[in-house]
């Protein structure tokens, strides 16, 4: 039995029919189709101690490569941790082999496909450092800038890292990269920037589907006034801190690596110590439905000639 798949050519309002031979190689669709959050390419940034790792680790459908080998004392470790074993003289080769092995297993293992949806890496900075040291070693250089001319060393490192990430995404897995930030001078302002060099930052910004910034902010406490009313005020007690996710994209060109979301998630989302990823997943689902309603409203609106009648 042969089957065909088709989509609609919106301009001509005619359905495009693909050959039956292609039905086993691809799925086609039309219209609004928001992917599962866990299948997206996500970057989580922020300064130290703002809950980045805890958020990524609270996803039970993720395997998290712990490159920084931090003490496993996170509040909500629901992910599957992976620490790379030393099986060669190259940490970069060990990491590549582990991720490639996971990809190969994922292609063939139906049970794995049903349970695993995301590969998380903590951190992107450490990943860059691992591959940078490997390229320097291969070329007998002390600094990556000494490898070749016109940024050849940076290009070699960048290509290896993002080829690996592309392979992860090509099999249907999402990836989450935890990236550190520091303050940098841009013009007359001090702004948070990714700690990696511009070469890697540019590629990361081009590759991500979503980018969030985590921050630790003072929590609210209720203060009673003389007239008996109670009003919220920022607490000065460090124990009252809150972890929030910010998704405000800057319009300043120099700050192009600020947060990004393809759907309208409210910025300043409170991320609890436990259930953080589920909180994000719920907020994403709500934003998807909001965008879907906007799309359907636009589609249902009558198409006129916009004449004023004057």
Q: Mean pLDDT by 10-residue block, N- to C-terminus, for the chain (310 residues)?
A: 51 66 74 87 92 96 93 88 90 96 96 96 94 94 89 94 96 95 68 79 90 86 79 74 87 75 90 95 94 79 52
Tokens of 128: 């860059």
The angle at the Cα of 278, spanning 273 to 282, to the nearest 5 degrees, equals 125
Q: Which of 199, 205, 198 is nearest to 154 (CA)?
A: 199
Question: Which pLDDT does position 10 carry in this prediction?
Answer: 46
The angle at the Cα of 162, spanning 159 to 168, to the nearest 5 degrees, equals 140
Q: Is the Cβ–Cβ distance between 89 and 71 less than 8 Å?
A: no
Class of the domain covering 35-214+242-289: alpha beta
Q: Is the Cβ–Cβ distance between 179 and 43 less than 8 Å?
A: yes
Give this prediction's pTM. 0.82
Question: Which pLDDT does position 5 carry in this prediction?
Answer: 53
CA distance to 105, 106, 116, 272, per residue, from 110 (Å): 9, 7, 10, 32
Distance CA 250, CA 257 (A): 8
Q: Which of 228, 191, 260, 155 is nearest to 47 (CA)?
A: 191
> 120 CB contacts (<8 Å, ≥6 apart)?
56, 57, 59, 62, 63, 64, 65, 79, 175, 176, 177, 178
Question: Which pLDDT does position 309 carry in this prediction?
Answer: 44
Q: Which sign, positive or negative, has the C-alpha torsion 97, 80, 258, 209?
A: positive
**Which sequence spans correspond to the domains of the chain?**
35-214+242-289
Q: Which of 261, 250, 260, 248 is nearest to 189 (CA)?
A: 250
């Amino acid at each position: 039995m042969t089957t065909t798949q088709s989509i609609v050519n919106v301009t001509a309002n005619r359905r495009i029919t693909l050959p039956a031979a292609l039905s086993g190689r691809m799925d086609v669709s039309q219209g609004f189709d928001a992917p599962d959050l866990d299948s997206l390419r996500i970057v989580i940034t922020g300064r130290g101690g703002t809950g980045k790792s805890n958020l990524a680790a609270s996803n039970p459908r993720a395997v998290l490569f712990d490159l920084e080998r931090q003490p496993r004392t996170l509040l909500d470790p629901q992910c599957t941790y992976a620490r790379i074993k030393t099986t060669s003289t190259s940490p970069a080769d060990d990491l590549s082999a582990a991720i490639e092995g996971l990809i190969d297993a994922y292609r063939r293992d139906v049970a794995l496909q049903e349970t695993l949806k995301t590969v998380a890496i903590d951190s992107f900075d450490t990943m860059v450092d691992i591959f940078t040291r490997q390229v320097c070693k291969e070329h007998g250089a002390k600094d990556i800038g000494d490898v070749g001319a016109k940024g050849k060393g940076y290009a070699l490192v960048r290509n290896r890292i993002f080829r690996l990430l592309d392979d992860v995404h090509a099999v249907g897995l999402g990836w989450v990269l935890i990236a550190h930030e520091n303050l940098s001078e841009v013009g007359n302002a001090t702004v948070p920037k990714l700690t990696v060099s511009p070469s890697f930052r540019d590629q990361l910004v081009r590759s991500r589907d979503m980018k969030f910034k985590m921050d630790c902010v003072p929590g609210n406490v209720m203060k009673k006034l003389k007239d008996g009313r109670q009003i919220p005020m920022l607490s000065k007690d460090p124990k009252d801190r809150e972890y929030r996710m910010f998704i405000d994209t800057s319009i300043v060109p120099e700050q192009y690596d600020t947060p990004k979301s393809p759907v309208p998630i409210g910025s300043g989302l409170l991320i609890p110590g436990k259930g953080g990823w589920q909180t994000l997943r719920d907020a994403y689902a709500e934003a998807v439905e909001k965008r879907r309603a906007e799309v359907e409203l636009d589609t249902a609106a009558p198409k006129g000639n916009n004449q004023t009648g004057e």
